[in-house]
Structure 1
């Protein structure tokens, strides 16, 4: 099942909209889905309701599925998020969360007619878990590939990065090219951006300081693809 098909099925189960943050890493989701009414999104954003949203709080701290009605009274709601949501037609809903704390997926689903049945909750949870696992398979990069991207992202030249990683320049280029292909990136810098957006790398690590990486002036950028003289059989 494709990711788009899963998201369509989730949306069909939520007449008043969906909010999904898949694989939250470094407080950023790998993929985001939002179909809530625009007026509710405006209110939620303007008043910064996520800071005390019971649905988000429960999803970050738990896994499984829960009706919003079961959260009221159990999770503090100092900003009256539930009441404000009802004013925008989100009278009923559910939250589904899965994954480890360092890569949590949290989804909210809204209705205006009735509460979710047990069967519907189970269906929502199954679809969210499937989406979470599918994205994990699609975007997982081996540590050696992430290390190569991080080294270049920190401002190292190719020679500095290869020396830091203890590999040849050809092997470094191979790792960077493999990471680009896995992420569907156009070049190394695009791969770095995509890795940060996906939560695979922290943008805070690109200081060249926290890990003792060289911080001197960088040499002119060298293409991430091997030259014709590089060995085609370079090992990652």
Structure 2
């Protein structure tokens, strides 16, 4: 069992009503997302698109640390009535947790059905989320020159155009693309680009033109 699974198992034990954690949110996408809330609540939350106005998520995106939901209304508005709806599904007590840099936030909500979390539990949960943030972050580092090579291909450039754009030889480009595929555990350039986007290493709407779409031709 890996480290992140150990951490999430412990969070589950401390949060019997479930938890939701989005690790390293970049370009509005988490690199890893885990939800253990009851299916009925998750479906209702998703159907109403509550995440756009969820005060527990908003607080976690804007603050470092942990805050009990019982005091959340003093800090954030709740125009969609997310917290009241959560209580109606038995998600009565909880914490909002936020850690990390603004460009790569990890936000976690943890719930208890019958009581507030103790101070000791709050400290442990905050530590667990911080550790999870660090562990997931270890896999996100890709050298800038590798990102540049992937981005050039993602823009639809041929290898010749990418070489001219980057000022490198075909051999150097091939080496960088191979290194990027290996680092991302990808079988080809297309999969490497997709994984880089999903990991927040490349933006799907970057100024360089990734919004024009992934390359449609065969990977070279």
Q: Same fold (TM over 0.5)?
A: yes
Find the counterpart in structure 1 of residue 49 from structure 2. Answer: 48
Find the counterpart in structure 2 of residue 89 from structure 1. Answer: 90
> Would the alpha carbon gap of residues 188 and 119 (structure 1) be closer, same or farther in structure 2, given more than 3 Å must change?
same
Question: Cα distance, 1:77 vs. partner?
Answer: 1.0
Trace 1:164-203 onto structure 2 (pairs within 5 A).
164-203=165-204
Trace 1:1-236 onto structure 2 (pairs within 5 A).
2-205=3-206, 210-211=207-208, 221=218, 223=220
Deviations 1:56-96 (A, max 9, x none): 11011111111111212331111111111011110100011
> Would the alpha carbon gap of residues 157 and 18 (structure 1) be closer, same or farther in structure 2, given more than 3 Å must change?
same
> Would the alpha carbon gap of residues 56 and 158 (structure 1) be closer, same or farther in structure 2, given more than 3 Å must change?
same
Q: What TM-score comes out, normalization by structure 1 length?
A: 0.87
CA distance in 1 between counterparts of 2:145 and 2:118 reads: 45
For structure 2, list consecutive stretches of 5 or more residues without a partner in the other structure. none
> Would the alpha carbon gap of residues 53 and 222 (structure 1) be closer, same or farther in structure 2, given more than 3 Å must change?
closer
Q: Is the 8 A contact 2:190 2:219 kept in 1?
A: no
CA distance in 1 between counterparts of 2:208 and 2:127 reads: 40
Paired positions, count: 216
> Would the alpha carbon gap of residues 220 and 115 (structure 1) be closer, same or farther in structure 2, given more than 3 Å must change?
closer
> Would the alpha carbon gap of residues 114 and 189 (structure 1) be closer, same or farther in structure 2, given more than 3 Å must change?
same
Q: Is the 8 A contact 2:189 2:219 kept in 1?
A: no
For structure 1, list consecutive stretches of 5 or more residues without a partner in the other structure. 224-236
Question: Cα distance, 1:220 vs. partner?
Answer: 6.0
Question: Cα distance, 1:32 vs. partner?
Answer: 0.4
Provide the alpha-carbon RMSD of the alignment.
1.9
